[in-house]
Structure 1
Amino acid sequence: MPALWCRRALTRAVHRGWRWAQRAGSVTAEHPGRLRFRRLGHGTRLAFPQGTVFGEPWIEVGDHCIIGERVTLTAGMMPGLDLGAEPILTLGDGVVLGRGSHVIADTRVSIGSDTYCGPYVYITSTNHSYDDPRQPVGKQWPRTEPVEIGPGCWLGTGAVVLPGARLGRNVVVAAGAVVRGEVPDHCVVAGAPARVVRSWDPVDGWRPPLRTPAPVPLPDGITPEQLLALAELEKSQESDGPEAPGSGG
């Protein structure tokens, strides 16, 4: 019994210590730690533990961004380079990068506002070249091309965005897709290499049509508090269940 109590106490202590480390180790504009970004917006947080981060003087991160655990953000091929006067990596307001994602910006990479990335998304402006068959691929000078991801996009888990890719506004990238080249606004891409599997037309709507029902718009003037109260009411009614016939007084 004492051993079981000690184990439980140790487990609680470890969990409390880890929660403290997560709070203390997170990076914000008010508490940047060792990192000195060109800009780190209000309300933005880099979760602890961070991944590899270097070239911060050439990285701009907008307001209210969420950078998950072990996310890599790099500007330049290696630390200590002078990359000039302009930013190399730019994240707009409200960008979300899921756990374990990588954004590698050896040349210009921009991610538009309110773009959400699931876990382990890989975005890079650099690719290895293999022109010389006599040399190891890793020893050949890589190719770089700018990457631009428009606002309001959604990148699923494990998606890869290759050098030279340009994604329009509100693009959905399916999990595991490998994106290169240009992707128009308001479409869904999937596969490796990624291709358009659904697109939106101002006249015809989504083609092919969506299989899910259209969302019901909220009534004008409703407040978040009213929505929460309605949800609580529905939950209480479900838990009470229907009253059995004849059970009333």
Structure 2
Amino acid sequence: MIFKIFWIIRALIYKAFIGKIGFPSYIGKPVYLGRINRVFIGKKVRIFPGARIEVIDNLSSIVFEDDISVGQNLHIISGGNLIIKTRTTISANVFISNLDHDYKAIEVHILEQPNIIRETLIGENCFIGYGAVIQAGTILGNHCIVGSNSVVRGSFPDYSVIVGAPAKVVKRYNADKKQWEKTNPEGTFI
């Protein structure tokens, strides 16, 4: 418990450099922070140690809204505007991005090819399981559950359970019946 006091002190020190940090947010010892003046952290955001948070240019940003819990070893990189909405929980060893490298010019090293930016948005009250990969171009609706080790790309409706590699919807909340029901991979109730 005492370690959290040090994390709060660290957050107060970062406040001079970071785009915004609300109170009482705290940050465990990170591995790397890149362009943190473009990182915006709301109130009651808890980021555990080992995070690698990168913004690749001064036009891009990462926004953590309020009441977000992030497990150890998060790697998040943004080449556009990446938003994680309120009350989301992210387990350990998760990767989130809104950029890909182009690969079409086979005579050019992939890291020297242009970045492809695709909107990535994580809705309110989502849960992202251990080891998940949220790829560029992913839009998660509100209250989506992403299974451990899933590789996610695409748009997913509110109240979906998403699992696999590649990830597919396996359940959704049926508001009419007030229960979770199995779906086909497109998210239609079975």
Structure 1 and Structure 2 fold alike (TM over 0.5): yes
Consecutive unaligned residues of structure 2, counting only runs of 5 or more, are: 184-190
Tell me which of the two structures has the higher relative contact order, counting C-alpha pairs closer than 8 angstroms and 6 or more residues apart. 2
- Note the alpha carbon deviations across 1:82-135, whole angstroms, 9 max, x for none: 32xxx7111111111110011111111000101001001100011122111222
Moved more, 50-59 or 102-111: 50-59
Structure 1 position 192, deviation (Å): 0.9
Equivalent position of 1:207 in the other structure = 181
Match status 1:40 vs 2:29: no
Match of 1:163 in 2: 136
Runs of 4 or more consecutive aligned structure 1 residues displaced over 4 Å after TM superposition:
22-25, 27-30
Identity of aligned residues (%): 22
Q: Which residue does the alignment assign to 1:230?
A: none
Q: Does 1:82 align with 2:63?
A: no
Identify the structure with the greater strand proportion: 2
Q: TM-score, normalised by structure 2?
A: 0.87
Instruction: Please state how far the C-alpha of 1:37 moved relative to its aligned partner.
Output: 1.3
- Report deviation, 1:147: 0.8
Name the SS of the counterpart of 2:169 in structure 1.
strand
Q: CA deviation at 1:24?
A: 7.0
The answer to which structure has the higher helix fraction is: 1
Instruction: Number of aligned residue pairs: give it.
Output: 182
Match 2:162 to one of 171, 182, 189: 189
Q: Does 1:72 align with 2:52?
A: yes
**Larger-gyration structure (1/2):** 1
Q: CA RMSD in A?
A: 2.2
Give the C-alpha shift of residue 32 in structure 1: 1.7
- Structure 2 SS opposite 1:60: strand
SS of the equivalent of 1:32 reads: helix
TM-score (norm 1): 0.68
Secondary structure, counterpart of 1:130 in structure 2: coil
Contact 1:114 1:153 in 2 (8 A): yes
Separation of aligned partners in 1, 2:85 and 2:58 = 25
Quick one: which amino acid aligns to residue 70 of structure 1? G
1:7 corresponds in structure 2 to none
Q: 1:34 to 1:168 in 2, by over 3 A?
A: closer
Report the CA distance between 1:28 and its aligned residue.
4.9
Distance 1:33 1:139 in 2: 32
**1:11-67 CA-partner distances (Å, limit 9, x unpaired):** xxxxxxxx98x46752558722586111101110001x2121121221110101100
Please give the residue correspondences for 1:58-207 in structure 2 after superposition, counting only pairs within 5 Å.
58-76=38-56, 81-83=57-59, 88-204=61-177, 205-207=179-181
